[in-house]
Amino acid sequence: MFLRSPILWFLAMTLLVSASSAFSQVSTPPLKDETKNFETYLLPGAGYSIYLPKSDDSLGVFSGFVVNYLFIAKSEQNNRPGPALVKWYGKLNILNSDKSDIRDMFLFSSGVDFSFEKNPNRTLMIPFFGIEVGGMTQKQIGNSLQFIPTLGLHLVARKNFFWSVAGGYVYSLKEFELLQGYFVQGSLNYALWK
């Protein structure tokens, strides 16, 4: 499968980030300050994720819905050093295996994302990197702490709406050989109030 090869995975993510950088070179009118510079709090969200453990022959491929909550996002697009967009969030994830004898897995984590660019002057196609830290539990394997370095793209990043895709590699502190693997997720966050 395409996502099983680390080299192809890296190339796909590099292509995604490169495409967004090329998008940034397109001439667009300058954004208003209130559109590109904002702070937003407490945006509920949902998404879908796929987890491909290295030992998928015994565990299978896990997938399922994600409930996430954007605690705070701050956008300051200017020429000062540092990322233009920072996002802190938490998520709960119940994943089902494609193998019938494997029980569901529960993942919970909190993460932070940082944009690569300091002044993209846009709200679309903003590449980011980040890290998630949390835990995973599954009846047959037990509990473990885990962390996931991530790389992704904010397809839309506005004060009241975020649409993001991200991928990463799961590092489990217990049963590392069994649980390490790729993780891909798409998510939407939307303010229910203005």
pLDDT in tens, 36-84: 677 888 889 999 999 999 876 778 899 999 999 999 988 887 777 778 7
Q: Is residue 63 in some structural domain? A: yes
Q: Is residue 147 in some structural domain? A: yes
When divided into structural domains, the chain yields a total of 1
pLDDT (0 to 100) of residue 19: 53
For residue 55, the one-letter residue type is: S
CB burial readout 152-162, b (16+ within 10 A) else e: bbbbebbbeeb
Supply the CATH number for residue 107's domain. 2.40.160.20
pLDDT (0 to 100) of residue 63: 94
Percent helix, strand, coil in the chain (nearest 5)?
Answer: 20, 55, 25
Q: Is residue 122 in some structural domain? A: yes
Among 88, 67, 166, which Cα is nearest to 126's? 166
The 10s digit of each residue's pLDDT in 102-152 is: 899 999 999 999 998 877 778 889 899 999 999 999 888 888 999 999 999
CB atoms within 10 A of CB 190: 14
Q: Is residue 103 in some structural domain? A: yes
Q: Is residue 148 in some structural domain? A: yes
Range of the domain at 149: 2-25+37-190
Q: Is residue 89 in some structural domain? A: yes
Q: Is residue 120 in some structural domain? A: yes
Q: Is residue 30 in some structural domain? A: no
CA 162 distance to own-chain centroid: 12
* Band of pLDDT at residue 26, cut at 50, 70 and 90: very low
